[in-house]
A and B are shown apart, each in its own frame.
Chain A
Amino acid sequence: MPRPDLQEITFSIDGREVSAPANMMLVDAAKRGDVEIPVFCYEPKLGQPVGACRMCLVEVEGIPKLQTACSTPVKDGMVVHTQTERVRDAQAAVVEFLLVNHPLDCPVCDKGGECPLQDISFGWGGGRSRFIEPKRHFQKPLELSPLVAIDRERCILCYRCVRFSQEVAEDYQLILQERGADAYVATFDGHPYVAPFSGNIVELCPVGALTSKPYRFRARPWDIENSGSICTLCPSQCNVNFTVRDERVLRVLARDNEEVDDGWLCDKGRFAYQAVHVDERVTRPMVRDGGELRPVSWERALSEAASALGRAKGRVGVVVGGQTTNEEGFLLQRLVREALDSPHVDSSPHGSPPRADLVALANPRLQATVADVEYAHTVLVLDCEPIDDAPILDLRIRKGVRRQRTKLVVATSRPSALDANAVASRRFAPGGGAEFARTLAAHISDPAGAGAPAEVRGFADALRAAGDEVVIVCSERVGAAAVALAEALGLADVGGAGILEVPAGTNARGLREVGCVPGSGPGYSEAPEGFSTPQIAEALGSGDLTAAYLLHVDPIRELPGRGAWEAALERASTVVAHAAFLTEGLRAHANVVFPAEGHPEKEGTVVHPDGRLQRVRPAIAHQGENRAEWQVLADLCSELGVETGVLTAGMAFQQLTEAVPFYAGLTLDVIGGRGARWPERAQATALPNVERAAPPAERAREVVASNGHLRLGTFRSIWAAPEVEHAPALKFLAARQRAELSPEDAERLGLRNGERVEVGANGTRVQATVALRHDVPAGTVFLEENLEGDGANLLSGEELVEVRRS
Chain B
Amino acid sequence: MTEHLLFKDIDEPGLSTLDVYRRRGGYESLRKALAMEPAAVLEQLSASGLRGRGGAGFAMGKKASFLPKGSMDKYLCCNADESEPGTFKDRELMQKSPHMLIEGMIIAAYAAGINRAFVYIRGEYAEQADVLDQAVAEAEAAGYIGENILGSDLSLSLVIHRGAGAYICGEETALLDSLEGKRGNPRLKPPFPANQGLYQGPTLINNVETLATVPHIIAMGGEAYAELGTETSTGTKLVSVSGNVQRPGNYEIELGTPSREIIYGLAGGPPEGREVLLWFPGGSSSPVLTKDDLDLPYDFDTMAKAGTMLGSGAIIVVDDSNTVVDVALKVAKFYRHESCGKCSPCREGTNWTVKMIERMRSGEATPMDLDIMASVQTNIIGHCLCVLGDAMAMPIGSMVEKFRPEFEAYIEERRRSGERDLGSSDLVDPPLQVLQGAR
Contact = CB atoms under 8 A, between A and B. Distances in A.
Contact of B356 (A50, A71, A93, A133): A133
A144 B166 CA distance: 28
B398 interface: no
Contact of B438 (A94, A109, A134, A176): A109
A137 interface: yes
Contact of B188 (A50, A101, A105, A179): A50
B344 A97 contact: yes
A749 interface: no
Interface string B333-365: 000111111111101111110011001000000
A130 B342 CA distance: 23
B348 A140 contact: no
A22 to B, nearest CB: 16
Contacts of A183: 341, 347
Given A98-B344, A137-B437, 15 more contacts: A50-B188, A50-B342, A54-B384, A54-B385, A57-B383, A65-B382, A97-B347, A97-B349, A97-B379, A105-B434, A108-B435, A133-B359, A157-B344, A180-B339, A181-B348
Contacts of A66: 382-383
Instruction: Rank and list the top 8 A-B pairs by shortest CB-CB distance, nearest first.
Output: A93-B379, A183-B341, A180-B339, A97-B348, A181-B351, A108-B438, A133-B355, A51-B188
A100 B350 CA distance: 11
Contacts of A71: 188
Interface in A105-156: 105, 108-109, 130-131, 133-134, 137, 139-140, 151, 156
Contact of A180 (B336, B352, B372): B336
Contacts of B350: 180-181
Q: Chain A interface: which size bin? A: 35 or more
Contacts of B434: 105
Nearest to A208: B438
A273 interface: no
Given A179-B340, A180-B339, A181-B348, A134 B188 contact: no
B8 interface: no
13 contacts: A53-B343, A53-B344, A54-B383, A54-B384, A65-B382, A66-B383, A94-B345, A97-B349, A97-B379, A130-B375, A157-B344, A179-B341, A180-B350
A104 to B, nearest CB: 10
B69 interface: no
Interface string A147-180: 0000100001101000000000000000010111
B396 to A, nearest CB: 15
B427 to A, nearest CB: 7
Interface of B: 166, 168, 183, 188, 336-345, 347-352, 355-356, 359, 372, 375, 379, 382-385, 427, 434-435, 437-439
Contacts of B168: 179
Contacts of A130: 372, 375
Nearest to B355: A133
A613 interface: no
A85 to B, nearest CB: 13
Contact of A159 (B337, B342, B372, B382): B342
Contacts of B351: 100-101, 180-181
Contacts of A90: 379, 383
A100 B353 CA distance: 11
A282 to B, nearest CB: 36
B438 A180 contact: no
B352 A100 contact: yes
Interface in A36-56: 49-55
Given A66-B382, A96-B379, A109-B438, A180 B338 contact: yes
Contacts of A156: 344
Contacts of B347: 97, 157, 180-181, 183
Contacts of A323: none
Most buried by A among B166, B344, B352, B439: B344
Contacts of A103: 438
Contacts of A53: 343-344
A229 interface: no
Nearest to B339: A180
A786 interface: no
Nearest to A140: B437
A100 B438 contact: no
A5 interface: no
Most buried by A among B352, B379, B383: B383
Nearest to B354: A181
A279 interface: no
A240 to B, nearest CB: 29
Given A54-B385, A108-B439, A49 B188 contact: yes
